[in-house]
Amino acid sequence: MARVHQLLEEHGRNGTLKFDLDRDVIEAAATYMAAEESEVGFLYSGWAQSALPHKRLADEAVWQVRTDHVSLVVQPGFRHTASGAPIPVGVPYGSRARLICLYLQSEALKTNSREVELGKSLHAWLRKLDISIGGKSMAAVRDQAERISRCQMSFQIKSGNRTGLVNQHILDTAVFVDDDDGAQGSLFVEKAKLSESFFEQLKKHPVPIEEIAIKSISNNSKAIDIYCWLAFRLHSLTSPTPVSWKALHGQFGASVARLDNFRMFFRPALDLALAVYPAANVEITDRGLTLKPSRPPVSPKVISLASRTPKA
């Protein structure tokens, strides 16, 4: 347990705010610790080792992340037009894209069905995470859902001297409906169907996470990525494992050119991730991080209950 959790236990939220700690870290840890219970979410392990961009790219740009073990390539999809050439919609990015991908994977695994309802179901889930679904926020959700539905993603997983292409895309199909605001060309994704290959990989290699942890850091895409990575890595370790700044930069800093700038970018996001994973045992060193064996954020018993499949 980190210092912020100890202070919250001893002094409460208001008392802890008087200490020299980042307010966002205190708020995230307080929200997490105040929750009486939390539902379990799931994501494919490949996502815990790679990530989408944090900021918007040019609509025609291709995104790539390459680490020692995983390579992710995301190609933008295209929107058909009534006349003229199709137009690129851009690759998904930011915290909203991550939340939608997490929702798709969690619902598919919990229901054992590749077809996932978005629309009202997604709205209800976002409300549960305290995400506004009106105005600009709803427009952002709609935009990211369309980007996810149209883009092509591929993971390459390296094991020893062998490299395998795990899947070529996340979704097979999507159903679009006219958005309620009636704006010209405005569509919302009502249903989405995960590709069979991606769904099979998700079932074989799921990473359980706590929804309350995601809720507490839901506006910070960097912290979400780090939390998911720690949830994937820490519980499987048998001894302290160093991870260099160079390796961290390759996985989390694809949009940051200089290593020294990346270190400044990484530390606040790491602190937020650790605020919602009290059992994480991570040491920051001059050379990078030392990851130490830690309890998973979700116990195996809770995982078993959460992943029971009500659909055939």
Q: Tens of pLDDT along 174-217?
A: 777 665 544 444 556 788 899 888 899 899 999 999 999 999 99
Give 132 or 63, the one with higher predicted confidence.
63
Point out the least confidently predicted range of 104-108, 116-120, 222-226, 261-265. 116-120
What is the pLDDT, as a whole number, of residue 164? 64
- Mean predicted confidence (pLDDT) in 112-122: 87
Which runs of E-coded beta strand occur in the chain?
A: 40-44, 63-66, 70-75, 78-79, 87-88, 115-117, 152-159, 162-167, 171-178, 187-194, 206-210, 241-244, 281-285, 288-292
What is the pLDDT, as a whole number, of residue 208? 95
Give 179 or 236, the one with higher predicted confidence.
236
Point out the least confidently predicted range of 263-267, 300-304, 305-309. 305-309
Among 166, 302, 291, residue whose Cα is nearest residue 231: 291
What is the pLDDT, as a whole number, of residue 102? 94
* 242 φ/ψ angles, rounded to the nearest 5 degrees: -80, 145
Point out the least confidently predicted range of 16-25, 78-87, 202-211, 231-240. 78-87
What is the pLDDT, as a whole number, of residue 185? 45
Is the per-residue pLDDT at 49 higher than 50? yes
What is the pLDDT, as a whole number, of residue 104? 92
Q: Which amino acid is at 194?
A: L
Give me the count of residues in the chain: 312
What is the pLDDT, as a whole number, of residue 214? 96
State CA 190 to chain mean position distance. 21
**Cα separations in angstroms, 245 against 46, 70, 223, 267, 268:** 20, 17, 17, 11, 15
What is the pLDDT, as a whole number, of residue 260? 84
- Mean predicted confidence (pLDDT) in 253-269: 87
> pLDDT band at 66, cuts 50/70/90?
confident
What is the pLDDT, as a whole number, of residue 33? 94
Q: Tens of pLDDT along 122-181?
A: 888 888 888 877 778 888 888 898 899 889 888 887 766 766 665 567 788 877 766 554
> pLDDT band at 312, cuts 50/70/90?
very low
Is the per-residue pLDDT at 103 higher than 70? yes
Number of H helices, E strands in the chain: 11, 14
What is the pLDDT, as a whole number, of residue 268? 94
Point out the least confidently predicted range of 96-100, 120-124, 275-279, 281-285. 120-124
Is the per-residue pLDDT at 108 higher than 90? yes
What is the pLDDT, as a whole number, of residue 311? 47
Give 93 or 125, the one with higher predicted confidence.
93
Calpha distance 141→188 (Å, rounded): 9
